[in-house]
Amino acid sequence: MIIDPKQLSEEALKNLIAEYCLRDWGLIDCESPLENRQQQVKTALDNGQLVIIYSQHHESAQITAASEITQTS
């Protein structure tokens, strides 16, 4: 299920973004400061390039590229 970022608390959104930045860019793999990466992710969420997916089965949420989501009718 896709979750609108506006439905999350500021703290929950911040934690998801931080987790995404550290998972996808690691601590050393990128020269850009963490704050810059977090802002890039926030912008990508706002633009729809990234989406928040909630798994009821795993009871967890994660950020992923919108292009990786397949919609079935």
> Is 9 part of a structural domain of the chain?
yes
> Is 37 part of a structural domain of the chain?
yes
Longest dimension (CA), the chain: 41
Cβ 16 vs Cβ 8: under 8 Å = yes
For 12-50, the pLDDT digits (tens) are 999 999 999 888 766 556 677 888 889 999 999 999 999
Question: Range of 42's domain?
Answer: 2-68
Write down the pTM of the prediction.
Answer: 0.81
Alpha carbon separation from 8 to 3, 24, 54 (Å, rounded): 8, 21, 12
Q: Which residue has the tokens 């912008």?
A: 43
- Chain-centroid distance of CA 58 in Å reads 17
Domain count, the chain: 1
> Is 73 part of a structural domain of the chain?
no
